Amino acid sequence: MKITELHIDGTARGAIEIARSRLMWAVIFFAAGFLLLAGRLVSLSLFQQTGSPHKGARGGAKVIMTERASITDRNGVVLASNLKSKSLSVNPRRAEEPELMARQIVNILPNVNYQKLLEGLKSSKNHRWVQRKLTPKQIWAVNSLGYPALKLENTEIRTYPHGNIFSHLLGYVGVDNQPFAGAESFFNDRLTDPERSDEPLVLSVDLRVQYILRRELYSSMKKFKAIGAAGIIMDVNTGEVIAMTSLPDFDPNLVSSPKGKGMFNRITGGVYEMGSIFKAFTIAMALDAGIVTMKDGYDASKPLKIDRFTIRDDHPKARWLNVPEIFTFSSNIATAKMIHDVGRDEQKAFLKRLGMLSKVRLELTGLAAPLIPKFWGEIESTTISYGHGIAVTPVHLITGVASMVNGGRLISATLIKQKTVRHDEKNKSEKNLLIKTSYSSGQTLEKSQIISEKTSEEMRNLFHLVVEKGTGKQAKVEGYSVGGKTGTAEKAGVGGYRKKDLISSFVGIFPVDKPRYVIFVMLDEPKGIEETQNFASGGWTAAPAVGKIIKQIGPILNIMPSQDKKLKYEDYIMVSDH
Amino acid sequence: MKIFIKIFVLSMILLSVVMLYNIKEKTNDLQREKAHLSQKILASQMALRILKVEKDYLSRPSRLEELSKRYLRLEPVIVSQLIASLDEFQAFEIFPSAPSFKKKIGNDNGAFGNFIVPHFKPDVKFLENGKSLREIFVSSPVNVEASKLMIKTALQREQENYISINNSLRKITFKEKLRAKYGDFK
């Protein structure tokens, strides 16, 4: 093909040049447009990302299963979970026959107030809630009414399958699933983290143990007509709280505001004078400092006078008592003399190291600070030696007692399940096991040596003596070696102590030769009954409850019966307490 | 010649355009299917969650306790049903040549799997017959009375055999030993 070249000059040439350049622009414009389309086509068909099933069809953000993650116990049993549900709302402007509609709704939802609903339906608003969280049957019935004014909106219900059993520990949520109290509140950020919404929060508690603890506490509370009760079970080696209950309690399924009965958690929110259980700390500090040995003792024949106070014994022996006897018979006089030898500053420092003077650390909200005397004088020091004049929470106490018996290590209590360690591996010595336990437990575990291992062993023997020979006999369990200490304190009232109103408690350690668990049970104002010869002290009320609990939870927690442990220091005790 | 090349290039372009379009359509279909499956997975996960909660609600301890009382003869395991080690349970020391069976059957996963309730399987054989004595440890909670009965029947049978085979070992009071451990069978 040969192109004939034309040479045009003049005005015609100018016009052609203009046409050409315009044509050029059009070509560039269209070419760019088509190039853009082609590029987009390639990118859409070849390079579009594929994702997990949790991504939406358009590759959007991860679909959130529920607003709050579930909570389970250490064995994976669900304690709290969000389930999808519907809430009924109404658009009053579109309601044509308010009376008929209100009557029909009240028939389906008996909790709705007819008058209020009718008022709502006659109002001129766009949106009103009728009832939240309907059951599937109710949803079906509402749908079958077929009113366009009614609207079912997606909501989530926080469900607690075990009702009252975990009330204080878990806390509860409000109408919009906002957390109140307990683990719900403390772990709120974790529970509402969208990245972990289908990964449950695993707590250290065990449903079976918790159930038994609550049942026994409840029956003791009824039996002794107490106004309240509390109990806590802790693993001495890891600090894991296995069970924790405070009575009276509530059903978190039914509660949505912090009003009403049973909302007070005695375990973390209440501070109590713990009475004689504190003697364990006094004796431990004296033994550990080498101020006394097991053979030494003090004269407890006469009541002790300090200033205007007179210190008496509840179980007077009226003679010289050695250390095992002081603990076993719970002598106030001898303990008071002992702390005098230890010294006030040492006592304060020891209790501070034990965490008794600061707020307790546990993954719950509403933790109470202990009540400690402003001035740590002679009389304060003396009364604190046997558990009066200082008020701590049960968590303080159980953490302290655990450190007395677990080899002397202070391990803070935790509600998070720690990595498990096989406790029954036979080839490993006890010492190896303890080290392994503390390594495996991660960051929440803070430990420091409070007393030496030798003192801790002596303390174990003393606790064992109390149950075998002393005030805690009713906590004995056939097949297990149990140690413990009773505590009875008069409640402080206006202008002094109220003689009749007691806090009766017992702390149990089992198995005492190789402690695994420590149990604390406390009854608030128990009344003596005929069966207990009208006594309401810890040895008569709380100790039998601890015995019953150990008997039931031992097999569940895989504690094998101990072969008869030889009672050490038994010879030191002259007369058995009757 | 040139024209053929041009036609070829043009048809290739057309072909690739058609293929690209097809791929895109298929991808879209797959994506729709994926979205649909995702929906189903999420719905199933939610249903699973509901079922799990319901399961845990139905197996709450108070309800199980009541049902167990009503329909089963099972009671909670008590301490005397447990043994710390097989060395302790040497009812078998009466057969001095019996190899002690030290392996523990069961698991350590907590729950009820780790309870050892000893009872004899009726196939207990004697060494004198050239057969080994076997202890069977069942890893489930068993009614105390039921396990006592099983031990009793097994022992009675075996003891009868035992007397007829060898009288020299008669003095060992197997029954007494168990009576001391489990109380009187009657």
A563/B84 Cβ within 8 A: yes
pLDDT in tens, A30-73: 999 999 999 988 887 677 665 444 544 444 444 556 778 888 88
pLDDT tens profile A130-156: 887 787 788 888 888 888 888 888 888
Helices (H), chain B: 2-58, 61-71, 144-165, 174-182
The pLDDT > 90 percentage for chain A reads: 9
Contact between A84 and B83 using a beta-carbon 8 Å cutoff: no
Q: Please tell me the predicted confidence (pLDDT) of residue B100.
A: 35
Mean pLDDT of A530-552: 83
User: Of A12-21, A518-527, B15-24, B97-106, which gets the smallest average pLDDT?
Assistant: B97-106
Q: What is the mean pLDDT of residues A324-331?
A: 84
Distance CA A103, CA A123 (A): 17
What CATH number does domain A71-90+121-202 carry, 3.30.70.260, 2.60.40.1080, 3.90.1310.10, 3.30.390.10? 3.90.1310.10
- Say if the Cβ atoms of B79 and A63 lie within 8 Å: no
Closest CA to A312 of A338, A295, A335: A335
Which of A62-66, A194-198, A238-242 is predicted least confidently? A62-66
Instruction: Compute the nearest-CA separation of A231 from chain B (Å).
Output: 18
Contact B35 A162 (CB under 8 A): no
Q: Which pLDDT does position B31 carry in this prediction?
A: 93
Interface contact B164, partner A, CB < 8 A? no
Q: Looking at residue A323, what is its pLDDT? A: 83
User: Per mean pLDDT, which range of A55-69, A274-288, A508-522 is the poorest?
Assistant: A55-69
Nearest by CB: B49 against A55, A81, A208:
A81
Length reported for chain B = 186
Give the Cα separation of A510 and B117 in Å (integer): 22
Q: A424 pLDDT exceeds 50?
A: no
The residue of chain A nearest to residue B88, with distances taken between CA atoms, is A563
| CB-closest option in B42, B56, B84 to A63 | B42
Domain A211-572 is found in CATH 3.40.710.10: yes
Average pLDDT over residues A505-530: 87
What per-residue confidence (pLDDT) applies to B24? 92
| B69 or A210, higher pLDDT | A210
The mean pLDDT value for A377-386 works out to: 84
- Tens of pLDDT, residues A62-106: 455 677 888 888 888 888 888 888 888 888 887 777 788 888 888
**Regions in chain B scoring below 50 on pLDDT:** 88-143, 162-172
For residues A356 and A400, the answer to whether their CB atoms sit within 8 Å is yes
Residue A440 has pLDDT above 70, yes or no: no
The answer to whether the bond into A370 is cis (omega within 30° of 0) is no
CA-nearest residue to A55 within chain B is B38
Give the mean model confidence (pLDDT) for residues A447-472.
84
Task: Say if B186 is an interface residue toward chain A (CB within 8 Å).
Answer: no
Round the average pLDDT of chain A to a whole number and report it: 80
Tokens of B78: 């008590």
Test B45 with A198 for CB contact under 8 angstroms: yes
Selecting from B53, B62, B82 the residue whose C-beta is nearest the C-beta of A555 gives B82
Please report the DSSP string for A229-281 in residue order. EEEEEEETTT-BEEEEEEES---TTT--SS-STT---HHHH--EE-GGGGHHH
Chain A hits for B84, Cβ within 8 Å: 560-563
Name the 3-class secondary structure at A299: strand
Contact call for residues A324 and A279 (beta carbons, < 8 A) = no
| pLDDT given for residue A518 in this prediction | 93
Cβ neighbours of B57 in A, within 8 Å:
161-162
Q: Nearest C-alpha of chain A: how many angstroms from B167?
A: 34
Confidence at residue B151, expressed as pLDDT on a 0 to 100 scale: 64
Residue A435: is its pLDDT beyond 90? Answer: no
Q: How far away is chain A from the Cα of B81, in angstroms, using its nearest Cα?
A: 9
pLDDT of A59: 42
**Chain A residues touching residue B24 (CB < 8 angstroms):** 41, 44-45
Rounded to a whole number of angstroms, the distance from the CA of A155 to the nearest CA of chain B is: 14
Checking if the pLDDT of A445 tops 60, the result is: no
Out of A78, A558, A563, name the one closest to residue B110 (CB).
A558
Task: Give the DSSP H or E segment for A483.
Answer: strand A483-493
- Determine which of A71, A203, A560 to mutate to test the interface with B (most B C-beta atoms within 10 Å): A560
Residues A427-437: what's their mean pLDDT? 39
Tens of pLDDT along A474-504? 888 887 888 888 888 887 766 666 667 888 8
Which residue did the predictor score with more confidence, B57 or A300?
B57
- Minimal Cβ distance to A479: which of B35, B54, B79: B79
In A, minimum Cα distance to B63 occurs at: A162
Q: Look at B27 and A41 and tell me if their CB atoms are within 8 Å.
A: no
d(CA B157, CA A430): 43
Residues of chain A neighbouring B106 (CB-CB closer than 8 A)? none
At A464, is the secondary structure helix, strand, or coil? helix
Q: Is the CB of residue A220 less than 8 Å from the CB of residue A545?
A: yes
Considering only alpha carbons, which residue of chain B is nearest residue A207?
A: B61
Residue bearing the bigger pLDDT, B66 or A421: B66
* SS (HEC) of B4-54: HHHHHHHHHHHHHHHHHHHHHHHHHHHHHHHHHHHHHHHHHHHHHHHHHHH
CA distance B165 to chain A (A): 35
Which of A187-196, A322-331, A518-527, A528-537 reaches the highest mean pLDDT?
Answer: A518-527
| Banded model confidence at residue A408, pLDDT cuts 50, 70, 90 | confident
- Which tokens in the block code for residue A103? 């009557």
* Residue A180, helix vs strand vs coil: strand
Residue type, A152: L
Q: Do the Cβ atoms of A162 and B60 come within 8 Å? A: yes
User: Does the distance separating the beta carbons of A83 and B53 come in below 8 Å?
Assistant: yes
Interface contact B49-A65, CB threshold 8 A: yes
Q: How many other β-carbons are positioned within 10 Å of the β-carbon of residue A33? A: 10
Domain locations in chain A as residue ranges? 71-90+121-202, 211-572
Shortest distance, CA B175 to any CA of chain A (angstroms): 22
